[in-house]
Amino acid sequence: MKIRRANDSDDDAIWSMLKPVFRAGDTYAIDPDIPRQAALDYWMGECAYVAGDDEPAGTFYIRKNQQGGGAHVCNCGYVTARGAEGKGVARAMLAFSLDEARALGFEAMQFNFVLANNTRAIDTWERAGFQVIGRQPKAFRFGDGRYTDALVMHRFL
């Protein structure tokens, strides 16, 4: 599957993938009503990528997780297009992002806010060498008032 750096001409494709995920508000700690441009600014602030051969199948970003003395660790976020699930898109994006993050000079990759109920993502990342290094209790509240913990996951590159 082709994966490449995103540019402004990908705005529509990226928003079409982000919109249902952000609007659902049950995986990312993002305001579900976030406007299109704010969402694109958030996603494409440093390095964003698109995956897919004919149709866009997924998108992810790589950015510094902290500034200053913490800038050697990157943070990434991944979204698979609705209808493209179960085809290895997430795994391909993860593999690409690990190589790309090394090429960009990062020494480690960290996910700051992985909902503990997202067992499929957690399994994928643990198989790729990530470890749970933190657990934030009741850190995410769903629309129906239920809570879930959020994990911090990390691996060196």
CB closer to its own copies, 46 vs 107: 107
Distances (CA, A) of 152 to 24, 89, 129: 22, 22, 14
For its own copies, which stretch binds (CB under 8 A), given 4-12, 54-62, 90-98, 128-136? 128-136
CB closer to its own copies, 9 vs 67: 67
Distances (CA, A) of 51 to 56, 65, 96, 153, 157: 6, 22, 10, 23, 22
| Site for its own copies contains 150 (CB under 8 A) | yes
| Site for its own copies contains 145 (CB under 8 A) | no
Which member of 35, 69, 83, 86 binds its own copies (CB under 8 A)?
Answer: 69
Cα 87 to chain centroid distance, Å, stands at 17
* Six token digits for residue 121: 């993502």
CA gap 112, 29 in Å, rounded: 10
Which member of 10, 17, 21, 28 binds its own copies (CB under 8 A)?
Answer: 28
Query: Rule CB under 8 A: which residues touch its own copies?
Result: 25-26, 28-32, 34, 66-73, 107-108, 110, 112-113, 133-143, 150, 152, 154, 156
